[in-house]
Structure 1
Amino acid sequence: MHRKTQEFFNLSPEEKTLYAQKPGSLEGYGQAFVISEDQKLEWCDMIFLKAIPTHTRKLEFWPKQQPHNFREALDTYSHDMKKIAVSIIGFIAMALRLDAKKLSKAFDGGSYDVRMNCYPPCPEPERVIGISSHADIPRITLLTDCGEITGLQVLKKRSMGVC
C-alpha cells in the first residue's frame, strides 16, 4: 500500500484530479475542509476514501488504472487494518476488564476510512507546518508512515484535566 500511495501521488496533476473531491465532500483527492477560495491551505496533498463496509465505497474516487492494482492493494490493506484495530480494541477491553468479545464485535462491524497524505517539497520549508492541529474523530486511528521521511508528530495537549 505504501508503494501504491506513492505511485498515486507521483501521478500528474491531471490524472489525480480525475479523483477530485466533490463540493461539500471530504472523499476523494484534494484538500480537507476547504470552505473558501481565499483561505490558506495546508501544505499537503490528500486522498480520503471510505473502505469498509465495502458497500459504502464510492469507487469513482478509487484510482482504477493508475496506479496499477491500487484498488486491490487498498482493499487488502483496509481489511488488514480492520483486523489490527479489532485486535487492539480487544486488548484495551481486557486491560480495562471489559467484555473483550463484545467490544471487539462492535468494532468488527464498524466503518473504516483511509486517508493518505503526501507532503511535497516546499520552496519555503520554514513556513510549512503540514496539517494543522486537529483531533481525529473516530474511535481509533492507526497511523503508518511511508519510507524514510520523518516528521509525523503527535502532540498531547491537556485540557480540562483530561490528557
Structure 2
Amino acid sequence: MEKTQIMVASNGDNENNNYDRMKELKAFDETKLGVKGLVDAGIKKIPKIFIALTDDAHIKKNLDSYSESSKEFSIPIIDLGDITKGDDQRRKMIIDQVISSCENYGFFQVVNHGVPKSLMDEMLEKVRMFHEQPAEARAALYARNHDKKSSYLSNFDLFQAPATNWRDTYYCRMAPVPPKPEEIPIFMRDTITEYSVQMEKLCLELLELIAEGLGLKRNYLKDMECGKGWDFLCHYYPECPQPELTFGISKHSDADFLTILLQDNHISGLQVLHKNQWVDVPPVHGALIVNLGDLFQASISFYDNILITNDRLKSVEHRVLSNLEKPRVSVACFFNGTHLEPSTRKYGPIKELLTETDRPKYRETTLYEYLTTHYGKGLDGESALTALFKF
C-alpha cells in the first residue's frame, strides 16, 4: 500500500451554500451501483460525500509515523494447532496467549485453526466475483433494509455517518436461520455455506478458551448464546483515485460479541488503535483475525471494579485505509447472538465475575435495542455502548 498522509476536510469545507450533501447521498444511493460504479465510470476525483471529516483529528494519521509504530508493535499470532491433542498444559498456554492478546491489543491472529486455506482462498475469490459481476446483477440485490438476509449495499450508515466510506458490501445473515438457498447468488452459495460451518466451529472454540481464561465454565459464553447468530459482511474496497482523502472504513469498534475476519492475502489496509497509535495488521496467508466486540465488553465489564480485574478485555477501535493499487476484499463474520429474532433477553453482568462492592457501569440491554442504536447512529467515532448504555 502506498504510504500517504490521510488528509481531512474541515467541517467548514462542507458548509457552503452550493453544496447539498443529502442530495448527493441520495443520488449516489439511487444508482444502486455503489463505489464500484464510480470507479467503473472512470472518476478521477472522489465525490465530496467521501471526504473524511475532522472527527478523529486528535489521532495521528501520518502514515510515516504509523510505520514507525508498526515496528514497535505487532498484533500477536496464536497457533491453535495443539489445542486438540489433549495436553492440558498446552491448552493453558494457548488460553494465556488469547487472554493476554485481548488484554493488550483487543486483536489477535490465529493459525492452524482448522479452516482449510483452500476454502478461505475460495471465499475471498467468490466475494471478489460478486462485486465484479455485471452492474445490473449487483443492483438487483441492492437494498437498504437490514431485515433482508441476503443483500448488497454501499455503507449501511450512508445517511447517518458524517462521511461516506470507500467500500461496498455483500451482506448475508447465516444464523440462527439462514436465507433460502435461492436468495444467495448461485456461484457463491456452496462456498459461503461451507465457510459458515467452519466459522461456527471456530467461534465456539474461541469462546471456550476465553471463558476458561476468565475463570468461567468452558461452556459459559456459549450458553449465553454469544455464538448462536452470525452475519457475513463481505467487503469490497475498490481502488481509490484519492486515498489520502477517505477511509475504507472509518474508526469504529464492532457491534457484536466476537468478530472473525478473513482479509485479503495481498493488500493491507486494516489498522488497530494501540496506545493511541494506528498499527497495521499485515496479511498472513492462512491466518484469521479475531477481535472482541462491544457486546462482549458490556458483558464482562459491567461493573466498575471489573475495570481492575476483568475489564482488561475490551472492544478496540480499528479502521481500514483506502489504496491506489487495486481492489481489496475481506470477509467479516460477526457473532451477534439472535438480534433479529424475537427476544426479551437482556445482557448484563456476569455474576461470577462480580464482588459485593461493584456498582453498575452499563445498563442492561437487549441485542435488538443495542443494534438498533448502532445502525441508527452509524460509524461516527463513538460506539453505541458509550452513546446510550453507559451510566
What band does the TM-score fall into relative to the shorter chain? Answer: 0.7 to 0.9
Partner of 2:260: 142
User: Match of 2:365?
Assistant: none
Question: 1:9 aligns to what?
Answer: 131
Are the equivalent residues in 1 in contact too, given 2:200–2:227 (CA < 8 A)?
A: no
**C-alpha distance in 2, partners of 1:103/1:155?**
26
Q: Any conservation in 2 of the 1:19–1:63 contact (CA below 8 Å)?
A: no
1:96 aligns to 2:96 (yes or no): no
Structure with higher RCO (Cα < 8 A, 6+ apart): 1
Spell out the pairing of 1:36-75 with structure 2 (5 A cutoff). 40-53=163-176, 55-57=177-179, 61-64=183-186, 68=187, 70-75=188-193
How far has the Cα of 1:97 moved from its partner?
A: 1.6
Root mean square deviation, CA, Å: 2.7
Partner residue in 2 for 1:132? 250
Match of 1:20 in 2: 142
| Pair 1:95–1:34, CA change in 2 (3 A) | same
State the TM-score, normalized to the length of structure 1.
Answer: 0.81
Residues 157 and 50 (structure 1), Cα distance of their counterparts in 2 relative to 1, 3 Å cut: farther
Distance 1:132 1:26 in 2: 24
* Residue identity matched to 2:130: F
* C-alpha separation in 2, matches of 1:56 and 1:116: 16
SS of the residue 1:110 aligns to: coil
Q: Secondary structure at the match of 1:116?
A: strand
In 2, Cα distance between equivalents of 1:21 and 1:59: 18
SS, match of residue 79 in structure 1: helix
Distance 1:11 1:91, change over 3 A: same
| Change over 3 Å in CA distance of 1:110–1:24 after alignment to 2 | closer
What CA distance in whole angstroms lies between the structure 1 residues aligned with 2:241 and 2:183? 29
Tell me if the contact between 1:44 and 1:120 (Cα under 8 Å) persists in the aligned partners: yes
2-structure distance, mates of 1:113, 1:24: 11
Call closer, same or farther: CA 1:132–1:59 in 2, change over 3 Å. farther
- CA separation in 2, counterparts of 1:24 and 1:95? 35
> Higher mean Cα deviation, 132-141 or 97-106?
97-106
Partner residue in 1 for 2:159: 35
| TM-score for both structures, normalised by structure 2 | 0.36
Q: Is the contact between residue 46 and residue 118 of structure 1 (CA under 8 Å) also seen in structure 2?
A: yes
Indicate whether 1:78 and 2:184 are aligned: no
1:115 to 224, 228, 233: 233
Deviation of 1:57 after TM superposition, in Å, equals 2.1
Corresponding residue pairs, total = 155
Task: Please say which structure displays the higher CA radius of gyration.
Answer: 2
Aligned-pair CA distance for 1:143: 1.2
For each residue in 1:52-101, what CA deviation from the matched residue of structure 2 results, as whole angstroms up to 9, or x when unmatched? 12x3426565213xxx2x01100111110111111000001111121112
Structure 2 distance, partners of 1:12, 1:156, is 40
Q: Distance in 2 between matches of 1:91 and 1:114?
A: 23
Contact 2:203 2:227 in 1 (8 A): no
In structure 2, the CA distance between the partners of 1:103 and 1:135, relative to structure 1 (3 Å rule), is same
Report how far residue 7 of structure 1 moved. 1.0
Equivalent residue of 2:172, what SS? Answer: strand
SS in 2 for 1:46: strand
Structure 2 Cα separation of the partners of residues 24 and 85 of structure 1: 23
The offset of 1:40, in angstroms, is 4.5
